[in-house]
């Protein structure tokens, strides 16, 4: 992949937007403006940005419950996501889904689910529909290493391979699932090898490098659209925050987290751009100011949003009665 200034700024700005969005989420969760579960994407930004760079607006994405960054990278507005987290009607799911259930049909972001591995069979179904309708597009399914232990993982990979479906499986392997090291739950810790056992084209990628992820995603999408069947990418990454805001994080040492922060996607990419002469501290400052304005606007939009009236709370719970 040829890296010019335009592409470099696009990648860096999207990763920085995700990072600053998540930091605002921590702030407003502490103020109890955001309630319920909150899973942050800090440290994993390169995967969402790299994967989405290979997609067209017609390609679909199914995500995990750690999906703020994935939604932002797919093009869902920061305003509507923040409003959803604030429980406002202007949010992506009218404030009913919260952090774990973002949804935006306009960008074909079909959202997160609280069910571990729950998106995998949905992705297979969507890809099957596309194949039957002869649509040349890709369904991306993103999930964590914890999903590998679920039956849906194996069932979905098997059917995708058997039916030669246009699915890009992306495992964001952050090594700890909900709080248990991968080597304590899996006899084979190289997850891409499990996918290869189903005769799926599989690869392990440095998930801290947006360039490496983007390269792998571009090749994968091209192969899928050429009719070569599903592709599996295992992106090795690390979340810098706890599993969720309720997590006491007793399963890893703080020194380990600090060591990984030195290898974080923003740190590594900024250093690379500076070495290539494409970036400067002034460029970073200008971008920080721009993103701060975006985030200020998103927070203001959410704050000024409307709560759903009590009389509407039973809407969308049951299907409308049909006389037909």
Domains defined along the chain, listed by start: 5-292 (3.40.50.970)
Task: Report pLDDT for 280.
Answer: 80
Give me the chain's average pLDDT, please.
94
For residues 63 and 186, is the Cβ–Cβ distance under 8 A? no
Burial class (CB in 10 A: 0-12, 13-18, 19+), 287: middle
Whether 260 shows a pLDDT value over 80: the answer reads yes
Q: Which of 118, 125, 140, 129 is nearest to 231 (CA)?
A: 140
Torsion of the alpha carbons at 1, 281, 67 and 255, rounded to the nearest 10:
100
pLDDT score at 252:
93
Rounded Cα distance between 160 and 124, Å, is 6
Span 297-323, average pLDDT:
89
Higher confidence at residue 319 or residue 155?
Answer: 155
pLDDT at 111: 85
Tens of pLDDT, residue by residue over 190-243, are 999 999 999 999 999 999 999 999 999 999 999 999 999 999 999 999 999 999
Residue 300: CB partners within 8 Å, gap ≥ 6? none
> What is the model's pLDDT at position 38?
95
Q: How far apart are alpha carbons 196 and 18 in whole angstroms?
A: 32
- Please determine, for residue 40, whether its predicted confidence score (pLDDT) is greater than 60: yes
* Count of positions (residues) in the chain: 324
Q: Is the pLDDT of residue 64 over 80?
A: yes
Beta strand segments in 183-314, E: 201-206, 231-236
C-beta of residue 270 within 8 angstroms of C-beta of residue 208: no
Q: Does the structure show a pLDDT above 90 at 100?
A: yes
pLDDT-based confidence at residue 123 (cuts at 50, 70, 90): very high
The pLDDT confidence band at residue 274, using thresholds 50, 70 and 90, is confident
Q: Which of 242, 94, 87, 122 is nearest to 177 (CA)?
A: 242
Please determine, for residue 324, whether its predicted confidence score (pLDDT) is greater than 70: no
CA–CA separation, 252 and 31 (whole Å): 27
DSSP string, 103-141: -BGGGTB----SSTTTHHHHHHHHHHHHHHTT----EEE
- The CA R_g of the chain, rounded to the nearest whole Å, is 20
Distances from the Cα of 88 to the Cα of 15, 28, 79, 317, 322, angstroms: 26, 14, 11, 17, 29
pLDDT of 140 reads 98
Percent above pLDDT 90 for the chain = 85
Most confident of the following: 4-8, 284-288, 298-302, 316-320: 298-302
Residue 122 has pLDDT above 80, yes or no: yes
Mean pLDDT of 70-82: 98
Q: Contact at 8 Å (CB) between 29 and 242?
A: no
Cα atoms in the Cβ-side hemisphere of radius 13 Å centred on 320: 3
Distance CA 148, CA 132 (A): 28
Give the rounded distance of the alpha carbon of 148 from its chain centre: 17
Enumerate residues 6+ apart whose C-beta is below 8 A from 218. 1, 53, 54
Give Cβ neighbours of residue 162 (< 8 Å, ≥ 6 apart).
none
**Considering only CA atoms, which of 186, 108, 106, 107 is closest in space to residue 154?**
186
């Amino acid at each position: 992949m040829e890296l010019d200034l335009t592409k470099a700024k696009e990648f860096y700005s999207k990763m920085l937007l995700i990072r600053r969005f998540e930091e605002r989420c921590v702030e407003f969760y502490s103020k109890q403006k955001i309630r319920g579960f909150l899973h942050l994407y800090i440290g994993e930004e390169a995967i969402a940005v790299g994967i989405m760079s290979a997609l067209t607006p017609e390609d679909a994405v199914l995500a995990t419950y750690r999906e703020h960054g994935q939604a932002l990278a797919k093009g869902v507005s920061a305003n509507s996501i923040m409003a959803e987290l604030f429980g406002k009607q202007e949010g992506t799911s009218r404030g009913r889904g919260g952090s774990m259930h973002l949804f935006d049909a306009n960008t074909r972001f079909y959202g997160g689910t609280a069910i571990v591995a729950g998106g995998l069979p949905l992705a297979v179904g969507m890809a099957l529909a596309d194949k039957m309708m002869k649509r040349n597009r890709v369904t991306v399914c993103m999930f964590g290493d914890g999903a590998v232990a679920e039956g849906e993982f194996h069932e979905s990979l098997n059917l995708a391979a058997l039916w030669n479906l246009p699915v890009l499986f992306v495992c964001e392997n952050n090594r700890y699932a909900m709080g248990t090291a991968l080597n304590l739950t899996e006899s084979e810790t190289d997850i891409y090898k499990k996918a290869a056992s189903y005769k799926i084209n599989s690869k392990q990628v440095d998930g801290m490098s947006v360039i490496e992820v983007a390269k792998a995603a571009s090749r994968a999408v091209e192969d899928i659209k050429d009719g070569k069947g599903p592709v599996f990418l295992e992106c090795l990454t690390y979340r810098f925050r706890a599993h969720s805001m309720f997590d006491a994080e007793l399963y890893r040492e703080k020194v380990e987290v600090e060591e990984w922060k030195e290898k974080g996607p923003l740190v590594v990419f900024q250093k690379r751009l500076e070495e290539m002469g494409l970036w400067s501290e002034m460029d970073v400052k200008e971008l920080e100011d721009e993103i701060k304005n975006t985030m200020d606007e998103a927070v203001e939009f959410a704050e000024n949003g409307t709560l759903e009236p009590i009389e509407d709370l039973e809407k969308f719970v049951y299907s409308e009665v049909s006389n037909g």
